[in-house]
Structure formats: structure tokens, C-alpha cells
Amino acid sequence: MESSRIRKLRKKMAEIKTDSLLVSNFYNILYLTGFKTLTTDEREAYMLVTNNNVYLFTDGRYITNNFKLKILNFKLGLIEPGKSVIMHLTDIINDEKLQSLAIEAEDLHIDEYKKLQKAFTAVNLLAVNNFIIKIREVKDREEIKKIQKACAIGDQCLTDVVKTIKIGMTEKEIALRLEMWLKKYGYDLAFDPIVAVNQNSAVPHYATKDGHGKVEKQSIVLIDFGAKYEDYRSDITRMVLINPNTKMINTYNKLQKLQEETIAQIRIGQPAKKLDEFSRQHHSFTHSLGHGVGLEIHEYPKLSSRSADIVRPGQVFTIEPGIYWPGKYGMRVEDTVTVDATGRVAVLTRFPKVL
């Protein structure tokens, strides 16, 4: 039985009048087939969707008992010496008499594109942008359950690790404890965590791995991290204040209130940029208000002043306003949320925000 994801894809293909689509993006292949290679950094698989068939191309390493490749309704093409993916495509184009071939413009390398141009002079090559990731923008029930589980894992990890933070501990040590907790229970990080102390917390995308911050007698500790469950991710930011002064406490309470008021503004059919605009009426920050979360930590919709996205049922995204004083400290509060068909907004990350 053909999957609903393939049906959605074929519908979009018909809209742009192409009879085939070459999928090269690691996450898009995973989304459409459930198949993944060992690394996102190397091209170890391709996928071709035509009006009649779905083909998956990979090498012999993945056709073993160790990987248990599930090809189900997909036709498998083995990439090996003497049989490149170009050769497989040539055979299929001839057999199915394909007239056009769409490619993922944001993913395919220029060198790969030139090889396709040279090989298929009689086929109309059509470059498309964000073609599949826009389908991925709306999650189905199983995807939301996995993200919800990833959020719960992250919540528990934070609960246990925050208790261990003490004066003298380094940013790297806190980040390592987050990772070790997840590994201990069989999970993985969703992304490299940000742990930023005092003036480092004023850098929105601070690189903890390059930093040297340390918890002091009076400290602000920003923790931005996520867990991964069955390939789906969570994202949360919480503040840990150690012996804070009144200004720090008041600033945090105002930011927390703003974040919760912004969540309360979420409505189906609303332009995503309106949420960003609402939040900035009270605080100005250099990053966007939020982003979609799924197989990747940054997906659609985009919640920024330039976003053209609309709030839709089934989306999962973050709400993360911040306030920063360079050279002093910064604060950010972030939750992963979703909205259902009735317009109900659910906050999936539940680690307490109250100081």
C-alpha cells in the first residue's frame, strides 16, 4: 500500500508538472522511506519518485542483516562499481519514458547537477526548493508522539542535571553531564547543547565547545538543549540563577511572562510573523522568535519578521524570546509547542519555568 507521504509528494509533483523527482537529502529520504545511512555528511543514498514507482539507491553495506533494509514497496537499485546512480536513472528514464526530472536545488551539489545535465540532455531538469520539507512542516500523529517523547526525555534530563550544578562547575562539564545522562538511558542529543554562564549568556548562539565559562557565586546559567527519540527532536531553553539579585529576578519574570503571553497568541491561520512582531513589542532580540522542529532541529514554519508561513494544525515549533546585554548577561525562555485541528496549543516541554 502506498504511503500517504508518497501520495502527498506525487500531488505536489503534478502541480509543477514533473513526472519524476530525485531526492538526495538525507532527512527527506528518511521521512519518505524510513531508511537512513550512517552519516548525513556523505552521499550514500538517493531516491527517485515517478508517477508509477519509487526507487531507492544505495550501496551494498546497507543490504545486510545488520541494517535490515526495509524496501517494502520501493524498488532497490544497488550502487556499485560499474553501476552508478546515473546509470540507474538512465535505465529508468528510458523504461518509463520520463520527460522531466525535478531535483532538490537546496541540497544537490553543483558537481552532481552538472553530471545530471551532461547525462540527460533530452530530459527537462527542474530545480525545486524546499519541496519535501514543506510537506514535513505538518506532522502526523505518530510524529507528534515521538517529538512529545523526546521532550519528556529532555525534561527528565534537565531535572536530574540541574540538581548537580554548583559553584566552580564549567560550562563544558554541564554540557557533558547532559550528554552522559542521555547516553546512559540510550538516547542522543538533538544538537550540540548551549551552556552559557554570565556574559556568555548574552551571546544567543554561543559555542560552548569553544568557551571557558565557569559557575560563580552569583551566576546566570543558560541551558539550551534537546533530546532525540526515534530520529525526532526536542528543543528547550531554561535559566538557572544562582544567588541572583533583584534586577535579575525581575528581568527573568518579565521574560517568562512575555514567552507565555506569546504562546497564548497562537491561532490557526495566523501569519507566523505576527507572533514574532507581538514578542518584539516588549523586547528586541537578534534572533527569530522560533522555528519548526522535527527530524531536524530547524524546520518549517519559520517564526521571524520575514516569514511567509502560516500557523497550521499539526505544526510543531518553538517559542523562544530573549533579552541580552552584551558583556553582562542574557536570558532566553524556550518551549516546543504544537497546535491541533481545534486550535488547542499544547506545550510539549514541561520542565518548570518558575524560578
Q: Are 107 and 153 within one domain?
A: no
Residue 82 half-sphere exposure toward CB, CA atoms < 13 A: 0
Mean pLDDT computed over 72-78 = 78
Q: Is the pLDDT of residue 228 over 90?
A: yes
Query: Is 354 part of a structural domain of the chain?
Result: no
Return the pLDDT at 72. 57
Task: Tally the domains of the chain.
Answer: 2
Span 169-196, pLDDT tens digits: 999 999 999 999 999 999 999 999 999 9
Task: Compare 338 and 38 and report the one with higher pLDDT.
Answer: 338
Span 123-142, pLDDT tens digits: 999 999 999 999 999 999 99
Domain that holds residue 41: 4-136
Plot region of 314 (φ>0 → left; ψ -120 to 50 → alpha; else → beta): left
Q: What is the CA radius of gyration of the chain?
A: 23
Query: What pLDDT band is residue 41 in, cutting at 50, 70 and 90?
Result: confident
Span 323-336, pLDDT tens digits: 999 999 999 999 99
Q: Are 227 and 286 within one domain?
A: yes
Q: Which CATH number fits the domain that encloses residue 335? A: 3.90.230.10
pTM higher than 0.75:
yes
Q: Which CATH number fits the domain that encloses residue 30? A: 3.40.350.10
Q: Are 327 and 257 within one domain?
A: yes
Span 192-219, pLDDT tens digits: 999 999 999 999 999 999 999 999 999 9
| Peptide bond between residue 301 and the one before it cis (omega within 30 degrees of 0) | yes
Q: Are 196 and 336 within one domain?
A: yes
Distance CA(303)–CA(290), nearest Å, equals 5
Return the pLDDT at 67. 52
Q: Are 150 and 107 within one domain?
A: no
Q: Is the pLDDT of residue 73 over 70?
A: no
Return the pLDDT at 232. 98
Helix (H) or strand (E) holding 324: strand 322-325
Q: Are 125 and 148 within one domain?
A: no
Give the orientation angle of helix 26-33 with respect to helix 4-15, to 10 degrees.
Answer: 120
Query: What pLDDT band is residue 63 in, cutting at 50, 70 and 90?
Result: confident
Hey, what long-range contacts does 108-113 have (CB within 8 A, 24 or more apart)? 108/22, 108/24, 112/24, 112/43
Q: Are 32 and 130 within one domain?
A: yes
